[in-house]
Structure 1
Amino acid sequence: MADIVTELQESVDRLNEAFYNSVGVLQRDAKPASVVEGADPSEGVDEAQVREMARSVMDESRKIDELASALPPVDLDADAQLARIAKLAEEDHALGEELRAELTRAKKTLTKVTAAFEAVTDDILLTREETTGGDEDT
């Protein structure tokens, strides 16, 4: 099962979709405005559709409230937050240094591999030239 934050994001997405669909249906199926008094167009959104759309929005809203209440409390102490940010910044810096060191090692390895590849291809080409007598036709 996904973590609470992911579930919360998915629930917000579903709520957004419910709003979008509801507004779209209401817009598409709305009874046309009449300029004649007493005219009652028979087509349009019926009350059952409106109740179903409202129920969908409310259900998703309740789920969001439940998920939000299940989130761990936020430490509101400013000093604790600043200390946590400083610790995360230190971890980020250390990981950045580690990444740079790994990148340097990877570049050195690539240089060695490229040099070895060039040496092998040069050797193959020179051997081929020697065996064919330098003919360009082969």
Structure 2
Amino acid sequence: MLGRVVTITFNKANAEALSVKGLKDGVVSFAEEIKETIAELEDGNEIIESFGRKYTIEITISELDTSDMSAVDGSDELIIATASGGGGGIGRTLTVSSLDDCKTSVDGLKTKIVCRKSIPEHDSPGFVVADIAS
């Protein structure tokens, strides 16, 4: 995902739990792991088949208040908005719904938020990227 992250919104049960704005570069990392199975055929060839994906989104920001951390814990949707990277020079959003879990922890003077999502489909992305309406 291209563009500088400007807003991260956490939702619980279709309601905004917390929105964090004015973020610096490098606060978000997004990792995708493809789950695969390997079958060896009688002739020695191998067939590799993917059967799912696991996403891990890590966010490191200035230390949050404990009430804000409680609001984020258990969020079921994450929306990341960027200032650029979309068509026509506008920003984009990355929305990850139906999160498996979303947990906060304190690391030094920073708050670390880790959200995870697993999907069984090998060809479905598990998230939506869209241009921000101008």
> TM class, shorter-chain normalised?
under 0.3
Per the normalisation by structure 1, the TM-score is 0.19
Name whichever structure is richer in strand by fraction: 2
Per the normalisation by structure 2, the TM-score is 0.19
The one of the two structures with greater contact order (alpha-carbon pairs below 8 A, sep at least 6) is 2
